């Protein structure tokens, strides 16, 4: 069992109990980390209520709204970290969004606005969060983001999100090079397909999961808990020599040619 007692971890991207970020939050909590959680605010306050009651048993010492497209909200999160925690150790970036229309059909039909939205929320947000996190992160700290095979290979309907994941994976390398000298590591986990709110927007997701279950070496897809375990490892001293990498947590699907 990894011991992250005394470490402070900010987790973005929990929407509900199917979220990959929820799997990561539970594993980091089990390892002893103190958690801060952000949620995407909406007009009716539904996410605040839902995510708030879900994470309550994990006793987060910070619970802040954060739409990553809003610089003022991002700044407010890190102001809260500075005043409550001073410094912190772990940043989990576990969020993405593209318009549903852009996650089905022909890639060439992607609109300019749809392209901008997907890249802004799903890729640029990592750089924006890292910019604010950088002066507040302790030596030995770690940033982990979530990507998918569709950022490397063509996956039906993944379309603009594949381009966003490609940019995200390259951002991991540039950030790893920049933050390495201060002792902060930056890595990505490329997870196999899991049924979540975000993945349900991708056309044919159930067929994709079935295909993985039939062809991946482990003949199944992965769970939120398995992704959470890998994230906890990447954030721990056991991974102290690993940065700028994409770790596949996908039941082995990525190695298969045919
Ligand atoms: P999810 O719907 O549970 O999580 C997506 C999160 O993004 C939600 O919490 C949502 O509130 C947040 N979000 C969307 N727009 C935002 C914004 N403007 N500001 C702040 N937060 C915003 O789905 P998930 O599958 O757990 O997705 C988490 C990450 O995992 C994503 O990066 C996704 O691409 C990646 N991923 C998912 C799968 C899969 O099959 N589910 C596979 C590989 C990678």
Tens-place pLDDT, residues 67-122: 999 999 999 999 999 999 999 999 999 999 999 999 999 999 999 999 999 999 99
15-36 pLDDT, tens digit each? 999 999 999 999 999 999 999 9
**What residues does ligand 1 touch, defined as CB less than 6 Å away?**
13-15, 18-21, 40, 66-69, 94-97, 121, 146-148, 191, 193-194, 196-199
Count Cβ atoms below 10 Å from residue 70 Cβ, excluding itself.
12
Q: Does residue 1 surpass a pLDDT of 80?
A: no
Size of the chain, expressed as the number of residues it contains: 258
Pocket test for ligand 1, best of 24, 25, 151, 199 (most atoms within 8 A of CB): 199
Active site residue 39: no
Residue 182 confidence (pLDDT): 98
Residue 203 confidence (pLDDT): 87
State the chain's mean pLDDT as an integer. 97
Residue 123 confidence (pLDDT): 98
pLDDT level of residue 191 (50, 70, 90 thresholds)? very high
- Using an 8 Å Cβ cutoff, are 66 and 40 in contact? yes
What's the CA gap between 95 and 42, in Å, rounded?
Answer: 16
Residue 158 confidence (pLDDT): 97
117-146 pLDDT, tens digit each? 999 999 999 999 999 999 999 999 999 999
147-190 pLDDT, tens digit each? 999 999 999 999 999 999 999 999 999 999 999 999 999 999 99
34-63 pLDDT, tens digit each? 999 999 999 999 999 999 999 999 999 999
Q: Which CATH superfamily is domain 8-249 in?
A: NAD(P)-binding Rossmann-like Domain (3.40.50.720)
């Amino acid at each position: 069992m990894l011991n992250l007692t005394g470490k402070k971890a900010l987790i973005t991207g929990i929407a509900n109990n199917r979220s990959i970020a929820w799997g990561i939050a539970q594993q980091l909590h089990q390892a002893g980390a103190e958690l801060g959680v952000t949620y995407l605010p909406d007009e009716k306050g539904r996410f605040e209520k839902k995510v708030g009651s879900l994470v309550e048993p994990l006793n987060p010492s910070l619970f802040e709204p954060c739409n990553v497209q809003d610089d003022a909200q991002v700044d407010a999160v890190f102001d809260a970290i500075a005043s409550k925690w001073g410094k912190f150790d772990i940043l989990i970036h576990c969020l993405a969004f593209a318009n549903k229309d852009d996650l089905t059909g022909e890639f060439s039909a992607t609109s300019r606005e749809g392209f901008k939205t997907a890249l802004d929320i799903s890729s640029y947000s990592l750089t924006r969060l890292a910019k604010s996190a950088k002066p507040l992160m302790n030596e030995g700290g770690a940033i982990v983001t979530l990507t998918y095979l569709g950022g490397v290979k063509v996956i039906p309907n993944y379309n603009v999100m594949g381009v966003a994941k490609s940019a995200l994976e390259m951002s991991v390398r540039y950030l790893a090079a920049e933050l390495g000298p201060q002792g902060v590591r930056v890595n990505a986990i490329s997870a196999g397909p899991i049924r979540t709110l975000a993945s349900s927007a991708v056309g044919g997701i159930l067929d994709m999961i079935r295909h993985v279950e039939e062809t991946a070496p482990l003949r199944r897809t992965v769970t939120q808990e398995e992704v959470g375990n890998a994230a906890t490892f990447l954030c721990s001293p056991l991974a102290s020599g690993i940065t700028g990498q994409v770790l596949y947590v996908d039941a082995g699907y990525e190695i298969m040619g045919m």
